[in-house]
A and B are shown apart, each in its own frame.
Chain A
Amino acid sequence: MPHKPPTQEELERRKIVGIHEETITDVSSSDYPWTYPGEDHSWDIEAFKRNFRIEFHQNDPFEASFSLIGCDASIANAFRRIMIADIPTLAIETVFINNNTSVIQDEVLAHRLGLIPFKGGKEGLHKFLKWWRRPEDESQINNSYYDFNTVSLRLEVKCEHNEKAAPGETDPTKLYKHAHVYARDIEFCPVGRQEKYFSGENAIAPVNPDILIAKLRPGQEISLSMHMHKGVGSDHAKFSPVATASYRLMPVIKIERPILGKDAEKFAKCFPKGVIGLEKVTKQEAAQKGSGYEGHEGEVKAVVVDPMRDTVSRECLRHPEFKDKVKLGRRRDHFIFLVESTGQWESDAIFLEAVAHLKKKAQDLEKQVINMVR
């Protein structure tokens, strides 16, 4: 018997993860060769080119949101993981404390400094700066710092009384000079070719100048120098270029039978704002036999407006009046990414870098495999 190719409807159905009151169904993808008799699901780059889509929802330097449509979770997840853990950034790695008489301990202060995100000239950051390696011979450490692998910073703050403060003033920021130490007080000390890559606009500086580092009182002082190196998020989270990079699956809401009148209003309240809309039943719909709208002309009915905004709370499944009228699900091949950059990279560039990184990984391993066989 010749095998019938699957209908479009069937293909759509296969992509949906079912979400029920207490359970979920069809979690794993099934688009592999030999899963369905007579169907070819083998890898085909042309088919992938045809079916794969990317749609942007937002693209700001600090936050980008876009959908990858038509790819597998393993691929989307690889990109997400690479964005978090494998894209290199520059961060404070070593702090040399000359003097710290503030109430904040040296090691806590050093940790706080490490977590401050920095920005700087893109060319210098991504192309000029290279990895710094701790020399095997520890005594050679002072010969391992160069302009292309270390960025030097300084922080010198001393708190003093402010003679000009009004009598009776209680606000420490007015009463004292430098009562608060902020990220903007960190000073960049360019060396060698760093002048060329990190000058003016492109200087190495904290992304958020208002980060509070410490609070001081008169007589207290912080004096330290810092070394920044390149690193990756898998070593320490401070090196991660993203605050978060995450994805969620596109929610699917299917109204199977009409939800009308008061029920429709209640139904809309089961979802976040904007997901469900209310529309009047039209004359044609009411005239259509078997549609469920007969004799309801002019009443409101619930329609799905924007499923992307849904949080899939399953609230609507708790109410008996909606039983069998609605089906919830998620589209298994539609990933809504949210990439939030810490400021050193543009958030869309982080994703592109992740794609390039995965390609590089595969390329290197292909060489390795060929080498293994030889």
Chain B
Amino acid sequence: MPRAKSKKEEPVEAGSDVVMEEAPPSHQPESRDDMSVDQDENDGPEDVEDEEVDEEEEEEEDVQRVRLLPGSTPTAASFEFLNEGHTLGNALRYIIMKNPDVEFCAYAIPHPSEAKMNVRIQTFEGTTAIQALEKGLRDLQELCDVVSDKFIDAKEKFAASASS
């Protein structure tokens, strides 16, 4: 079928599912007053044959999710992350605090009903808060690689010891 060809089958990295940015925030309908039931129900995903789709719009323009908050100086800055929470906030705070050039690092979620997370970084002279943030994010990636490798090793070792 034509759709199958137009769709690029990008090789997916091991252990990576669909692209998360494209995750819809929620499937729940915005409150609508026209809760019409008349749409023909048995509509399964229609047969693709004669359909023209604007194929997964080429990775829609990346929205800028990180912002430097006003009042920041090179060595003391606050950053605002949109759509991030404690998951990344605390992990990032830890890894940035592990940087010896950083004097202070903390994260906050100013209000639970706003999907925003703030990170404050103050560094010693000689480096900048932005550099510390970048290093933190890089270190976090390295850490994930190590955890992943060790997990696979441990899993295989366990499987071998269980079967023997």
Contact = CB atoms under 8 A, between A and B. Distances in A.
B15 interface: yes
Given A146-B48, A363-B141, A96 B42 contact: yes
Category for how many chain A residues contact B: 35 or more
Contacts of A366: 134, 137-138, 141
Contacts of B97: 32-33
Contacts, number: 237
A235 B154 contact: no
Interface string B103-140: 00000000000000000000000000010011001111
A355 B151 contact: yes
B58 interface: no
Nearest to A78: B91
A189 B91 CA distance: 43
Given A59-B158, A96-B41, A232 B148 contact: no
Contacts of B27: 93-94, 132, 134, 229, 231, 235-236
A243 interface: no
Contacts of B47: 191-192
Contacts of B12: 126-127
A177 interface: no
Query: A32, A54, A150, A367: which has the most chain B beta carbons within 10 Å?
Result: A54
A85 to B, nearest CB: 8
Nearest to B29: A134
B115 to A, nearest CB: 10
B123 to A, nearest CB: 12
A371 B137 CA distance: 14
Interface string A355-374: 11111111111111111110
B131 to A, nearest CB: 10
A32 B65 contact: no
Nearest to B43: A142
A319 to B, nearest CB: 38
22 contacts: A43-B139, A54-B154, A74-B94, A98-B42, A131-B22, A138-B32, A142-B39, A146-B51, A147-B45, A151-B45, A192-B3, A225-B44, A236-B26, A356-B16, A358-B140, A359-B140, A360-B16, A361-B84, A362-B144, A365-B65, A365-B84, A368-B64
List 9 tightest A-B contacts by C-beta distance, closest first. A152-B44, A56-B158, A359-B144, A43-B98, A96-B41, A33-B100, A74-B94, A54-B154, A356-B15
Given A56-B157, A366-B141, 5 more contacts: A53-B150, A235-B28, A356-B15, A359-B145, A372-B67
Interface of A: 32-34, 40-43, 45, 48-49, 52-56, 59, 66, 68, 71-72, 74-75, 77-79, 81-82, 85-88, 93-94, 96-98, 126-127, 129-134, 138, 141-143, 145-152, 189, 191-193, 225, 227, 229-232, 235-236, 348-349, 351-353, 355-373
